[in-house]
Amino acid sequence: VSMSITAISSLLFVSVGLSIILLATAFDSHLRPFVGTQRSKKAINMSGATGFIGLGIMGEGMAGRLLSEGVAGTADKPLVVWNRTGSKCTALKEKFPDATIEIKDSAKAVVEACGVTYSILSTPEAAKAVFDAADGVLAGVGEGRSIVDCATLAEADMQRMNEAIVATGGRFLEAPVSGSKGPAATGTLIFLCAGNKALFDEVAAGLSAMGKASHFFGNEVGAGTRAKLVVNSLMGTMMAAFSEGLNLAESVGLDASTMVDVIGQGAVASPMYGLKGPKILAGDHAPNFPLKHSSKDMTLASAMAKKAGVEFTVNDQAETLFRKAKEDKELHVADEDFSAVYKLVQKESADSRKK
C-alpha cells in the first residue's frame, strides 16, 4: 500500500508539473504578441537604416556624403530622410538615382525607422519646433534610437534635448559642425562632439564620410556647442576686421585686389581671407554661410561670454555690426553670405564721410 501511495504521489507530482509547464507555455504564446507590440515598434531599427533630418544648405551636402561614401543608401542600409520643404528630399533622390533613399512624412517616422538619425536644422526655433512636435523627433525616440544633432544651438537647447531623449531610453550626441556649404559637400567639415561616447565611436564612419576631423569634448552635453561658438565668434570677428581693412584700403587709394594678395602672403594669412577676398571685391555674396546665421552664432557667443564673466569686447563690437547688417532694410543681406557684412561697412563709411 505504501508503495502504491508513493507511486500515486509521484504521478500526481509529474502531472501537476506538466500542467504548469503547459499552462505557462500557453499563456506565453497568447501574451507574447501583446507584450511585444510596443517593443517591435521601437525596434524597427535593426534594418541598418540611417536617418537624416534637415536637407538645407548644410544637410544636403552632408546627406550626399553619406550616400557617396557608401555609409548609407544601399538596399540593406537605406538613407531615410525628411525635410520641412519636401522638394529637397525629392531633389536628393533625383541626384542619387541609384541609391536607396526612403522619404518619410515626418521626423518621427524617420527616427522610428532608424537606429541612428542625424539632424541639422538652421535655427534654434526650427530645431525646437521639429524636436517637440507631435510628429517630431522626440515622439519617435525610444530604446534603440540615437540622435546626432549637428546644428549650432544654445547650450541649454542641446542639454534639454539630451535629457528628453535619455529619459525615453534613447542616446544623444551633440555634434555641431565647423564649416559651411562647400566643406559639407566635399566631406571636410569638423565635428565638435559631446555626450554619449559609445555613440560617438559607433558613428565614426558617418562622421568620417562627412568631415575631415571629429573631436570629442567629453560626456557633458554643451561642451561641443561651447567649442562651436568659440570658433564661429572668432570667424565673425575676423570677417568684420577683414571687411574694414579692405574698405580702408580702397578708401585711401590702394588696390584692394593687391592688398588681398599681400594679406595672403604675410603672417595674417587665412584660408578664409584667401577664399572670401576676391569674392567680396567682385560683389559675390552667394550664401555658403548666411549672414543671419553668423549673427545668431555671435549673439549666442556673446551671451556665453557674459555668463562666464569674461572680456569679449572685440566679438561684441563685431556682433553689433553683424546684427545691424542683418536688420538693415536697405541692404537686404540677411540671407546672403556672411561676407556681405562688407556692404554695411561700406555704407556706414560713406555715411560718415557725408557728415
For the stretch 253-297, pLDDT in tens is 999 999 999 999 999 999 999 999 999 999 999 999 999 999 999
Query: What's the confidence (pLDDT) of residue 343?
Result: 98
First-to-last CA distance in the chain? 125
pTM: 0.84
Q: Which of 228, 292, 296, 343 is catalytic?
A: 228
pLDDT at residue 25 tops 50: no
Query: What's the confidence (pLDDT) of residue 354?
Result: 85
The pLDDT of 232-245, averaged and rounded, is 98
Query: What's the confidence (pLDDT) of residue 187?
Result: 98
Query: What's the confidence (pLDDT) of residue 353?
Result: 87
Higher model confidence: residue 25 or residue 163? Answer: 163
Question: Which of 136, 346, 331 lies closest to 240 in space, CA to CA?
Answer: 346
- DSSP H or E segment with residue 300: helix 291-308
If 0-12 CB within 10 Å is exposed, 13-18 middle and 19+ buried, where does residue 44 land? middle
Higher model confidence: residue 21 or residue 300? Answer: 300
CA 91 to mean position of chain CA atoms? 20
C-alpha cell at 140: 519617435
* 347 residue type, one letter: K
Write out pLDDT tens, residues 315-341: 999 999 999 999 999 999 999 999 999
47: confidence class by pLDDT, cuts 50, 70, 90: low
Among 121-125, 132-136, 242-246, 319-323, the range scoring the smallest mean pLDDT is 121-125
CA 281 to mean position of chain CA atoms? 32
Query: What's the confidence (pLDDT) of residue 191?
Result: 98
Higher model confidence: residue 2 or residue 199? Answer: 199
Write out pLDDT tens, residues 92-129: 999 999 999 999 999 999 999 999 999 999 999 999 99
Return d(Cα 349, Cα 352) in angstroms, integer.
5
228 as an active site residue: the answer is yes
